[in-house]
């Protein structure tokens, strides 16, 4: 399981690529949905990775604030005490 789970809106994928690369260069393991394989049960895999991560970075943008998925992931991370909001 990854150290860090990144939650974001697909429209912000370019930002996540850079963020994930930076975090990995600093020695952290990172999970975001690019790691999903074809045929995976997406919701189940996302929830498993979200629960297992040591920290959850939520990338808040004009797009992501409108995403029910991002908001749900942020809520779960906050409840688990591992939310790191990034703007």
The answer on pLDDT for 5 being more than 90 is: yes
Two tokens at 3?
A: 């150290």
The answer on pLDDT for 33 being more than 90 is: no
Residue 1, pLDDT score: 82
Alpha helices for 1-87 (secondary structure H)? 13-25, 42-52, 68-79
The answer on pLDDT for 84 being more than 90 is: yes
Task: Catalogue the long-range contacts made by 66-74 (C-beta closer than 8 Å, 24 or more residues apart).
Answer: 66/9, 67/9, 69/7, 70/7, 70/8, 70/9, 73/5, 73/7, 73/46, 74/7
Residue 67, pLDDT score: 95
What is this structure's pTM? 0.90
The whole-number average pLDDT for the span 62-67 is 96
């Amino acid at each position: 399981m990854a150290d860090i789970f990144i939650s974001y809106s697909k429209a912000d994928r370019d930002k996540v690529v850079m963020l994930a690369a930076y975090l990995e260069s600093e020695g952290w393991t990172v999970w975001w949905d690019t790691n999903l394989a074809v045929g995976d049960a997406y919701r189940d895999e996302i929830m498993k990775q979200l629960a297992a991560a040591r920290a959850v970075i939520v990338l808040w943008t004009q797009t992501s604030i409108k995403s029910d998925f991002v908001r749900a992931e942020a809520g779960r991370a906050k409840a688990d005490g591992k939310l790191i909001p990034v703007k």
